[in-house]
Amino acid sequence: MLLIGLCLITSSRNEIQKGPTRMGSYSFLQVFTVVFALSIATTLFNKRALGLPAAIGVPIVSAIFVFLLQWAVSLFGHNDYIHINIDEIEKAVRTFNFYDFLINGVICFILTSSALKFKITDLRVYFKPIAILASIALILCAIFFGLALYGYQVATGHKVGILVLLLLGAALGATDPIGIKGVLSSVKAPHHLMVKLEGESLFNDAVCIALFMAILGVIKGNEFTVGGALFNLAYEIVVAVVIGMAFGWLVLRLLKGKHEMESLILSTAFLATGSYLVALYAHASGPIACVIGGLVVGNRWQEILSQQEVNEVNHFWHTVEGIINSFLFTLIGMELFIIDFHASLLIGGVVAFIILHICRFAANFLAFIPFRRVKSKSYHGSLTILSWGGVRGGISLALILAVANMPQLARHSDILIGYTFICVLLSGLVCGLGLPGVMNAFYYNPNEPKTGFGGWYQRMCHKMNRSGLQYVVSEDAHGKEQITVYNPECLATEPEEVTDVDGDGVVEINDAELAAKVKKLEDPNNF
């Protein structure tokens, strides 16, 4: 299937060069056939052979397919029966505008779809940590990353300008909403962590893009002031919020009265594209606009529509998300065609990912220092889990691909694209696949792995939990989530503060002060 798709790429380019032979050109149909063929191949292989979340497995499978294709072509690609021109395939990949496809295209549907299911009540409860993670922590992470990577480049004799590396840090600062959803779907995470991870991924795109554009402006020679940058960011957010609320109100009005399922779907599609487009024309944040619009509609449309209609629309967009994700992750893997990998680039990419991972931890913990009231009431291990769960994806790659060939950046394009690609893949593998082990270190799981590599990794994760305190997540009789301390004896300073009356491992708390401390740790409104 992969071979068929790539043959079609070559033939489509020949079709374009020769011009139409019949009524019109087949190039549009060929492009779609190629995308479908590649997406089916990568998705099925991942699902049936690897079993990884799509956000992680599909780009990896695509990358493997590209490596295999390049190897196979070098051996069998030039004979009387098969002829595949790698140069033509590379040109096709280079001419594809990844930035327009994602940033100026399908991301509005992804963000709106997520926002429709995101509860404003959750946002109100966890607004402070989400806002801190999506703004201060992101900016600190970009700065730390740029400075640390600059030191590495100087040490290895591959000097790259500090502004170029800060630009790379800004691009890699955003957690990817698609990747986050893919990871969370495979992890039984407490509700508060899911809300914070998904909320951060929804709202940090605006700050990421604004920071990226500010640094890019400095590289181009534009005048930069902190006050001007803050004013532009405030303008983008405020105007985007107004536009999003206006479109949300308009769509709610459209949903009133008689309607069919097609009109419901078209209304939500208009919400996504309309709010995003108007925000772009107003030089505001498109991501914020469609997220706000989705929140307004998603939290009010149950007053207008039946539950069945809401579920059907959500199901439709869930299906669309899956299709877009397959396309996107396949395209990420195909970007391997335009990267000239060599030993120093591979090593540098791995080092860049390690630096990025460390910087995210440092930035998240430092960002909360001024907000002691928020941090003091947090669940034990929350920041560690949130820091580990920062999956990067298509947004980072799209931003870099959009500017990599600029005259000011062209000589560093291999480093920018290569490091970004490696960081995206490794964040899925390490952060995505490693998240359950980190979660188990703080939330008790009797079924966690004990032997082999999984057991070793789990023991390493437990060392991150220095206090040994763990929680248990359960549901009460009404289906409401409950978080309880699994081992309150870890909090005891004296043996007589807890007792195991029945000898079954379940302790009773005897000390009133300790009981109050445990109750505070179990408060569902924490952090």
Q: Identify the domain containing residue 471 by its residue range.
A: 452-521
Tell me the mean pLDDT in the region 58-65. Answer: 78
CB 411 within 8 A of CB 345: no
Of 384, 415, 442, which one is at a domain's C-terminal end? 442
Mean pLDDT of 131-152: 93
Question: Within 302-432, where are the H helices?
Answer: 307-334, 343-367, 372-376, 382-388, 394-403, 413-426
In this structure, what are the phi and psi dihedrals at residue 364, rounded to the nearest 5 degrees?
-65, -45
Residues 215-274: pLDDT tens digits? 988 898 877 787 888 888 889 999 999 999 999 999 999 888 777 888 889 999 999 999
Note whether residue 245 is domain-resident.
Answer: yes
Residue 278 sits in the same domain as residue 393: yes
Q: The CATH number of the domain where 197 resides is what?
A: 1.20.1530.20
Q: Flag whether pLDDT at 444 surpasses 50.
A: yes
On whether the CB atoms of residues 315 and 304 are closer than 8 A, the answer is no
Q: What is the number of domains present in the chain?
A: 3
SS3 109: helix
Close Cβ partners of 432 (under 8 Å, ≥ 6 residues apart): 53, 55, 56, 179, 182, 183, 391
State the Cα–Cα distance between residues 67 and 69, nearest whole angstrom: 5
**Tokens for 149?**
């990577």
Across the strands, what pairs with 378? none
**Do residues 34 and 112 both lie within one domain?**
no
- Both 109 and 241 in one domain: the answer is yes
Contact 391, 427 (CB under 8 A): yes
Whether 317 and 436 share a structural domain: yes
Domain for residue 447, yes or no? Answer: no
Hey, is 472 helix, strand or coil? strand
* pLDDT over 90 at 303, yes or no: no
Pair of tokens at residue 68: 């295999």
**Are residues 126 and 88 both part of a single domain?**
no
What pLDDT is attached to residue 350? 94
Least confident residue range of 86-90, 208-212, 310-314 = 86-90
> Do 10 and 85 touch, CB atoms closer than 8 A?
yes
Choosing from 393, 409, 442, the residue where a domain stops is: 442
- Please give the Cα distance from 56 to 65 (Å, whole number): 15
Cα–Cα distance for residue pair 137/363, rounded to 1 Å: 5
Domain boundary among 413, 442, 471: 442
Same domain, 169 and 283: yes
My answer on whether 106 and 134 are in the same domain is: yes
* Residue 424 placed within a domain: yes
pLDDT for 13 beyond 50? no
Would you state the structure tokens that stand for residue 20, as one six-digit string? 């139409």
pTM over 0.95: no
What does the block give as tokens for 502?
């029945």
Tell me if 231 is assigned to some domain: yes
Could you tell me the CA-to-CA distances from 94 to 189, 249, 327 in Å, in that order?
Answer: 39, 41, 16
Q: Has residue 403 been placed in a domain?
A: yes
Amino acid at 208: C
Q: Are residues 428 and 489 in the same domain?
A: no
Q: What gap in Å lies between CA 84 and CA 104, rounded to an integer? A: 32
Which 3 state secondary structure label does DSSP give 480?
coil
**Amino acid residing at 476:** D
Answer yes or no: is 158 within a domain. yes
- Residue 526, in any domain of the structure: no
The answer as to whether 499 is a domain residue is: yes
The rounded distance, in Å, linking the Cα atoms of 432 and 441 is: 15
Neighbours of 50 (CB within 10 A): 14
Same domain flag for 164 and 103: yes
**360 and 230 within one domain:** yes
Assess whether 233 and 351 both reside in one domain: yes
SS3 260: coil
CA angle 188, 191, 197 (to 5 degrees): 90
Task: Check whether 2 has a pLDDT greater than 50.
Answer: no
Contacts of 525 (CB under 8 A, 6+ apart): 125
pLDDT digits (tens, 9 = 90+) for 404-435: 888 888 888 888 988 998 998 888 888 888 88
324: tokens are 């877009």
For residues 313 and 216, membership in a common domain is answered with yes
